[in-house]
Amino acid sequence: MSRSLIVLPLAQQDLISSHDYLNQVRRGLGQQFDKRIREAFNRIEYVPELYAKVWKDVRAVRIKQFRHVIYYVILDDRIEVLAVLHGARDESTWKERVS
């Protein structure tokens, strides 16, 4: 069963903020980040159960080359990305987004 991957608004804000910050650190780094995110999203969409649950039904995948983590849940008809945060962030940041 194919499920669509939905990036929730707060997760979209996470992506934009990280992209902008990384481009400030080094020109082009934001684009490299975007590429890794797309690769991870493709894996999640293709095999959503690939990554382990880290809390309740929330799963997580670390982004290659970066210290960011994608947090997502698998629902009956879709996959929802809750957050994309630096791995050093307090876990309460993404846990607050779980309904």
* Local structure of 5: helix, strand or coil: strand
pLDDT one-digit tens code per residue, 11-29? 999 999 999 999 999 999 9
Per-residue model confidence as pLDDT tens digits over 28-56: 999 999 999 999 999 999 999 999 999 99
52: helix, strand or coil:
coil
* Predicted confidence (pLDDT) at residue 1 exceeds the cutoff of 70: no
Q: How far is residue 23's CA from residue 25's CA, in Å, rounded to a whole number?
A: 5
Handedness of CA 28, 65, 11, 17 (dihedral sign): negative
Structural domains present in the chain: 4-95 (3.30.2310.20)
